[in-house]
């Protein structure tokens, strides 16, 4: 099935009407020249404004990801794209968005910032989407956005492909699939479906698999007609030239990327095996990402005990009972965590048996 939604009808009227800032560099595309157009200072080291459309970086990314530069938005982290999606499509105090919890917290934070009502539909016992619970909301034209995080943070699992197709086919708003952890999974990206679904936005990032979280560079893939609005609304120079250059450099070493991913995947397997040997481990959720969601005995206490040893994991026990989310680190860091857990377990046993 193909989907061709009238995107214009989803866009906030003020954004439709908006005449965007045209930067000096929008008007002259050449690289050479005497640039006296942008009030830059001719002295200084990073004295020139960066390319507002990040053309060179986009080409490098598209070569790796098999995408089209004409369908790629780059943001100051993919978080920027999440915020922009609310600002483009959701009228504050009127429009709504759907999320499936437990999931990535920023969907809610940006909804709150933009005064957009969030419809929070809990995932089922296997952390999958229950279609029956979602479709009734599709009758409401004020529901503009639907977020699917796959692999899901913090649970680590993929969302069923057939379910996502059903949602894509039935929902008349914008479907955002967040693939922040796609590099750790064998699942194909949804980028290839953008041609068929003009209401699909796929988020990816250089923060996780590529190890560039400090650079703040996120991708959002979408049809040209949707990208038009992202470019209209974004800050003109949203990615610094230093960050663009650093990313281009790091993206050139695919062999290193692959070997780092392999190390992390091997470490993930080792951590699963070792954690399963501990009696304080209750359950390890299967993961397609670079973290494990683990159910422990008394997670809050364990979390504090680890903090005391300067080992910091993410306490998710408020969203999944007794669960800690553990990022896969360097082999030596993972070993430190395992040793700390073993010591905590031994202390516990010695107290019980004393």
Ligand X SMILES: *Cc1c(COP(=O)(O)O)cnc(C)c1O
* β-strand partners of 304: none
3-class secondary-structure state, position 287: coil
* Per-residue tokens: 268: 């993930």
Q: Which is nearer to ligand X, 103 or 322 (CB)?
A: 103
The whole-angstrom distance between residue 24's C-alpha and the CA centroid of its chain comes to: 32
Burial of 350 (C-beta count, 10 Å sphere; 0-12/13-18/19+) = exposed
Q: Which is nearer to ligand X, 315 or 344 (CB)?
A: 315
Q: Which is nearer to ligand X, 95 or 179 (CB)?
A: 179
Burial of 297 (C-beta count, 10 Å sphere; 0-12/13-18/19+) = middle
Q: Which is nearer to ligand X, 280 or 293 (CB)?
A: 293
Q: Which is nearer to ligand X, 78 or 198 (CB)?
A: 78
Q: Which of 54, 71, 78, 287 binds ligand X (CB under 6 A)?
A: 78
Q: Pairing relation of β-strands 143-149 and 314-315? A: unpaired
**Shortest reach from residue 146's CB to ligand X, in Å:** 15
Q: Are 121 and 129 in contact (CB under 8 A)?
A: yes
Q: Which is nearer to ligand X, 25 or 208 (CB)?
A: 208
Q: Are 82 and 107 in contact (CB under 8 A)?
A: yes
Q: Is 287 in the site for ligand X (CB under 6 A)?
A: no
Q: Are 134 and 184 in contact (CB under 8 A)?
A: no
**Half-sphere exposure of 120 toward its Cβ, with a 13 Å CA cutoff?**
14
**Shortest reach from residue 54's CB to ligand X, in Å:** 14
Q: Which of 50, 52, 77, 102 binds ligand X (CB under 6 A)?
A: 77
Inter-helix orientation angle 55-65/241-251, to 10°: 30
The whole-angstrom distance between residue 69's C-alpha and the CA centroid of its chain comes to: 19
**Shortest reach from residue 287's CB to ligand X, in Å:** 13
Q: Is 109 in the site for ligand X (CB under 6 A)?
A: no
**Half-sphere exposure of 318 toward its Cβ, with a 13 Å CA cutoff?**
4
Q: Are 295 and 276 in contact (CB under 8 A)?
A: no
**Shortest reach from residue 10's CB to ligand X, in Å:** 22
Q: Which of 83, 95, 178, 183 binds ligand X (CB under 6 A)?
A: 178
Q: Is 111 in the site for ligand X (CB under 6 A)?
A: no
Q: Is 180 in the site for ligand X (CB under 6 A)?
A: yes
Q: Is 213 in the site for ligand X (CB under 6 A)?
A: yes
- Written as one string, the DSSP assignment of 174-192 is EEEEE-TTGGGS-SPPGGG
**Count of residues near ligand X by CB under 6 A:** 13
**Shortest reach from residue 45's CB to ligand X, in Å:** 26
**CB under 6 A: which stretch of 76-84, 245-253, 276-284, 293-301 binds ligand X?**
76-84
**Of 295, 282, 280, which is closest to residue 326 (Cα–Cα)?**
295
**Shortest reach from residue 161's CB to ligand X, in Å:** 18
* Residue 175 neighbours by CB under 8 Å, 6+ apart: 146, 148, 164, 167, 168, 197, 199, 200, 201
**Shortest reach from residue 259's CB to ligand X, in Å:** 22
Q: Which of 49, 100, 104, 127 binds ligand X (CB under 6 A)?
A: 104
Q: Which of 102, 156, 173, 218 binds ligand X (CB under 6 A)?
A: 218
Q: Which is nearer to ligand X, 246 or 278 (CB)?
A: 246
Write out the binding residues for ligand X, residues 189-208 only, by CB under 6 A: 205, 207-208
With residue 196 as reference, give the H or E element that holds it.
none
Q: Is 79 in the site for ligand X (CB under 6 A)?
A: yes
3-class secondary-structure state, position 3: strand
Write out the binding residues for ligand X, residues 114-173 only, by CB under 6 A: 149, 153
Q: Is 209 in the site for ligand X (CB under 6 A)?
A: no
**CB under 6 A: which stretch of 74-82, 122-130, 230-238, 299-307 binds ligand X?**
74-82
Q: List residues near ligand X by CB under 6 A.
A: 77-79, 104, 149, 153, 178, 180, 205, 207-208, 213, 218
């Amino acid at each position: 099935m193909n989907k061709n939604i009238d995107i214009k009808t989803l866009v906030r009227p003020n954004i439709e009407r908006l005449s965007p800032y045209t930067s000096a560099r929008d008007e002259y595309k050449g690289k050479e020249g005497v640039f006296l157009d942008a009030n830059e200072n001719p002295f200084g080291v990073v004295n020139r404004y960066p390319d507002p459309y990040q053309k060179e970086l986009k080409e490098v990314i598209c070569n790796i990801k098999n995408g089209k530069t004409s369908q790629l938005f780059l943001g100051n982290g993919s978080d920027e794209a999440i915020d922009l999606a609310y600002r483009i499509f959701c009228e504050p105090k009127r429009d709504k968005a759907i999320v499936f919890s437990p999931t990535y917290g920023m969907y809610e934070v940006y909804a709150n910032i933009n005064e957009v009502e969030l419809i929070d539909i809990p995932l089922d016992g296997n952390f999958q989407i229950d279609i029956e619970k979602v479709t009734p909301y599709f009758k409401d034209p004020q529901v503009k956005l639907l977020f699917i995080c796959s692999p899901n943070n913090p649970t680590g699992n993929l969302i069923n492909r057939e379910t996502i197709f059903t949602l894509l086919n039935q929902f008349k708003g914008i479907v955002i699939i967040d693939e922040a952890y796609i590099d750790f999974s064998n699942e194909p990206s949804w980028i290839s479906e953008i041609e068929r679904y003009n209401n699909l936005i796929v988020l990816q990032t250089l923060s996780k698999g590529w190890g560039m979280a400090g650079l703040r560079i996120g991708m959002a893939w979408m049809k040209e007609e949707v990208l038009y609005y992202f470019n209209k609304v974004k800050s003109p120079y949203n990615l610094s030239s230093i960050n663009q250059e650093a990313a281009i450099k790091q993206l050139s070493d695919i062999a290193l990327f692959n070997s780092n991913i392999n190390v992390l995947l091997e470490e993930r397997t080792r951590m699963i095996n070792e954690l399963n040997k501990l009696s304080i481990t209750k359950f390890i959720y299967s993961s397609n990402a670079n973290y494990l969601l683990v159910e422990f005995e008394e997670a809050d206490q364990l979390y504090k005990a680890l903090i005391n040893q300067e080992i910091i994991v993410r306490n998710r026990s408020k969203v999944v009972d007794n669960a800690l989310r553990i990022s896969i680190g360097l082999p030596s860091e993972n070993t430190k965590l395992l040793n700390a857990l073993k010591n905590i377990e031994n202390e516990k046993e010695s107290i019980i048996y004393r």
